Amino acid sequence: MTLLSDTRYLFVRYLKKLIRNPILLFFSLVQPIIFLVLFTQLFERFANVPGFPAESYLIFATPGILLQNAFGSALQSGNSIVSDMDTGYLQKMLVTPVSRYAILLGRLTSDAFRVLIQSTIIMVLAFLMGAVPVTGILGMLLMLFTIAFFGLAWSGISLAIGLKTRSSETVFAFGSFLTFPLLFMSTALTPLDFMPDWIQTVSKLNPISYTVDAVRVLMIDGFVWDTILSAYLVIGLVAILTLGSTLYLFRKVVS
């Protein structure tokens, strides 16, 4: 029970920090909202191209924009652990009886919750613009769960870099370097069949494509479990690699 209670305490602590400084929540929303409001309107006629897999570009691109936000937010999670080390908060926690793993779990769960809140805001805005999932409320909840799981898995990369380098600048630079290449070489904003052959090959190996496709079928087609479960398998493998690295580096820091 100590691990659960300590994790809950630290989760609440990070949540209070977010409430006191809501700009942390909305800062990373600026770009996805611009994509949602302007980018989808700019390319709306893209949906008239023969073979396009959705009735409108808004409905097609909304899952990609949701994943863009989750991916970008997850890759900046390491800044928080760097801040805790720089301010001495982490060192203070290590001299208390708090569970060591709770320190990491509290951070991971709070980051996933932040992605969940941001995704809800984007989804509500998309709904008001006309992007209505065919799977209804249950589908929307499953979409949010999938996105939160995705954000949790990818935040491990950022946390591992933060623990290794102890540099916010390095975490930010790495996140900026990865975000757009992986986003645009996936099915987030463009159907697979519309891509050049070499980008199609990269997209088929890109974990973002699997997650986007899972969210998109919930938006457009329904509960296509083969696609959804394939995404969960890929996200799970990413989580094992990234969170395993984070746990290894965290043990080195606390020891």
59-87 pLDDT, tens per residue? 999 999 999 888 888 777 777 778 777 77
**129 — pLDDT class (breaks 50, 70, 90):** very high
d(CA 40, CA 237): 32
* Highest averaged pLDDT of the listed ranges 15-29, 112-126, 209-223: 209-223
pLDDT of residue 24: 64
Question: What crossing angle do the helices spanning 136-165 and 78-86 adopt, rounded to 10°?
Answer: 40
In total, how many domains does the chain have? 1
pLDDT over threshold 60, residue 1: no
pLDDT over threshold 80, residue 117: yes
* Highest averaged pLDDT of the listed ranges 5-19, 29-43, 127-141, 168-182: 127-141
Pull the structure tokens for residue 92.
Answer: 């203070």
pLDDT of residue 5: 83
pLDDT over threshold 90, residue 109: no
CB 100 within 8 A of CB 94: yes
Q: Left (φ > 0), alpha (ψ -120 to 50) or beta: where does 136 sit?
A: left
pLDDT over threshold 90, residue 146: yes
Domain carrying residue 93: 2-254
pLDDT over threshold 80, residue 253: no
At which residue do the structure tokens 């697979």 appear? Answer: 192
pLDDT over threshold 80, residue 21: no
> H helices within 87-196, ranges in order?
89-94, 100-129, 136-165, 168-184
Comparing CA positions, the residue from 182, 184, 223 lying closest to residue 74 is: 182
pTM of the model: 0.88
